[in-house]
Amino acid sequence: MLSGFNHNLKHRGKTFHIQTEDGGKDNPQIITHAFLGGVILDTVRTSYGDLLEKPNWQDALRGRMKAQHLEEIRKLFSGAFDEQTGTPPEDD
């Protein structure tokens, strides 16, 4: 099981938490959650069972985890959770 990623990020006056973790070889999933105040706003699960038989699969897994984590951060900053969290739209 690989260590995951955790970031607290400010977006339009609110602090969000993005967490990505490895489910382990017995549950080969990358799991990413977006939180606000302890409430889960979004969850993304991606299987990585296809990697387990490959040499250096941990390196490939680390890359997928990072990509999934960064995509969730992009979703946050693109405003994907704004309506759900009552975050006012940014002035143009």
Q: What is the DSSP string of 21-69?
A: EE--TTS-EEEEEEEETTEEEEEEEEE-GGGTTSTTHHHHHHHHHHHHH
**pLDDT computed for residue 2 by the predictor:** 86
Residue 80 has a CB neighbour count (10 Å cut-off) of 14
pTM, whole model, 2 decimals?
0.91
Q: How confident is the model at residue 91 (pLDDT cuts 50, 70, 90)?
A: low
| CA 49/CA 18 separation, integer angstroms | 23
Mean pLDDT of 5-18: 97
How would you class 9 by CB atoms within 10 Å of its CB: exposed for 0-12, middle for 13-18, buried for 19 or more? middle
